[in-house]
Amino acid sequence: HGDTGLTVRKIIVDTYGGKGAHGGGAFSGKDPSKVDRSAAYAARHIAKNLVAAGVADEVLVQVSYAIGVVEPTSILVNTHGTSHVSMSDGEIAKITAKLFDMRPAAIESRLKLRNPIYLETAAYGHMGRMPQTVTKVFESPYNGRIEKEVELFTWEKLDHIEAVKEAFKL
C-alpha cells in the first residue's frame, strides 16, 4: 500500500524517503518544463558536483520557483556543517547560483531533458542511477525508422567538478 494519488507515485518514494526536502507531487507524468521534475534533477546534479569537488561532505540543495517567473526565487545550500571551504552556506549558495543556470529552459538544455529518457526513469527510481548512453529506436508513420543516441540520468554525472573547484578555489 503506497501513496500514489492521481499524479502517480509521490516524490517521497522516488527520492530519499524523507532525507531530501521537497514538496508533494510526482516526477513521472510531468514534462521537463515542470520544475517539480527538472529542478529536482538539477539540485541533485549540483549537490553531487559540490561534494565531488570537495566543497563539503554532504550537501542539500533546495530551489524554489514562482509561477510565471523564470529565475528561481531562491537557491539554498545546506552543508549540514560538513563544509571544507571558509564560507557560510549562504555564500556557497551565491556562488552555486552563478555556476549553475537554474532557469527551467537552461536545466532542460544542460541535462538534455527533451530527449526520450523517461521510460528508464519510471522504474527503479529517478536518483542514484548510473549515467549511460543508449540508442533508442522508434517507428514513425511519417519518417520510418528513427534511431537516436541519448544520455540517461545526466543529473548523476560529475561533469562540473573542475568549474566548482575553480569557483571555490579548491
Instruction: Supply the pTM of this predicted model.
Output: 0.84
CATH number, position 69: 3.30.300.10
In a domain? residue 74: yes
Closest CA to 11 of 26, 33, 28, 31: 26
In a domain? residue 124: yes
Distance, in Å, from the CA atom of 94 to the CA atom of 112, rounded to the nearest integer, reads: 25
- Computed over every residue of the chain, the mean pLDDT equals 87
In a domain? residue 1: no
Distance, in Å, from the CA atom of 36 to the CA atom of 42, rounded to the nearest integer, reads: 11
In a domain? residue 114: yes
| Average of per-residue pLDDT across 23-51 | 84
In a domain? residue 158: yes
In a domain? residue 2: no
The per-residue pLDDT for 87 is: 97
Supply the range of the domain harboring residue 86.
Answer: 11-167
pLDDT in tens, 52-84: 999 999 999 999 999 999 999 999 999 999 999
Helix (H, G, I), strand (E, B) or coil at 24: coil
In the chain, the percentage of residues whose pLDDT exceeds 70 is 83
Total domains, the chain? 1
In a domain? residue 79: yes
First-to-last alpha carbon distance for the chain, in angstroms, is 47
